């Protein structure tokens, strides 16, 4: 049996824009935050199944000059407040402030943010899923060995993945099923 099954570690790494909140394209005002469909219900479902939440988000609006890191911190504080009002604890937010051509290690699909979260919280790839709406999100999951669960996004248009969950609640159900199946498998091996 692996250590994760013994310790019960279960993490959902969450993309922000287009996944947890409606993508407003370079959101620069905390008042503009709005949960995407199914988010509150999905987060509660995963919380009740023992999952912990971390956010992994590209925020190139900083590099592009649309907002600064202080504004981004205000947006993230407001998001944490909104989640807390719904009984959800977001334990950490990892973000990349760089632009697409900056060549950093943290901008998804690069694995840097996910690897940092894994090191800081001490979990292995099989103890987490990454839920996001983009190829970059799924690329970061693949690069780190995590299971990626894609959510359909209105901004994805015609290139949306055929196997994407229709909304966040459906993605959350997939995450819970993933952990339930791992737990059943681990029980059958003992």
Beta bridge partners of 56: 94
CA distance 30 to 39: 18
Based on the residue annotation, tell me whether 17 is a catalytic residue of this protein.
yes
Q: Which residues are annotated as a binding site for Mg(2+)?
A: 15, 17, 133
Q: Do the beta carbons of residue 112 and residue 104 sit within 8 Å?
A: yes
For every one of its 190 residues, what pLDDT tens digit does the chain have, with 9 covering 90 and above?
Answer: 333 333 579 999 999 999 999 999 999 999 999 999 999 999 999 999 999 999 999 999 999 999 999 999 999 999 999 999 999 999 999 999 999 999 999 999 999 999 999 999 999 999 999 999 999 999 999 999 999 999 997 665 545 566 899 999 999 999 999 999 887 666 655 5
Catalytic residue at 102?
no
Neighbour-count burial of 41, counting CB atoms closer than 10 A to its CB (0-12 exposed, 13-18 middle, 19+ buried): middle
Tell me if the pTM is above 0.85. Answer: yes
Q: The domain 3-188 belongs to what CATH superfamily?
A: HAD superfamily/HAD-like (3.40.50.1000)
């Amino acid at each position: 049996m692996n250590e994760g099954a013994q310790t019960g570690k279960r993490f959902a790494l969450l993309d922000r824009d287009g996944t947890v909140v409606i993508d407003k394209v370079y959101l620069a005002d905390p008042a503009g935050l709005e949960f995407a469909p199914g988010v509150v219900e999905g987060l509660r479902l995963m919380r009740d199944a023992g999952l912990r939440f971390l956010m992994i988000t590209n925020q190139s609006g900083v590099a592009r000059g649309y907002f600064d890191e202080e504004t981004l911190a205000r947006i993230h504080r407001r998001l944490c407040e909104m989640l807390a009002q719904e009984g959800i604890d977001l334990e950490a937010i990892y973000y990349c402030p760089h632009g697409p051509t900056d060549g950093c290690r943290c901008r998804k699909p690069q694995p840097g943010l996910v690897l940092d979260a894994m090191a800081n919280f001490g979990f292995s790839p099989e103890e987490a899923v990454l839920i996001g709406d983009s190829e970059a999100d799924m690329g970061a999951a693949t690069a780190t060995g995590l299971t990626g669960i894609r959510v359909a996004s209105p901004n994805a248009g015609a290139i949306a993945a055929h196997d994407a969950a229709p909304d966040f609640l459906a993605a959350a159900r997939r995450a819970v099923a993933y952990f339930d199946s791992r737990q059943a498998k681990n029980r059958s091996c003992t």
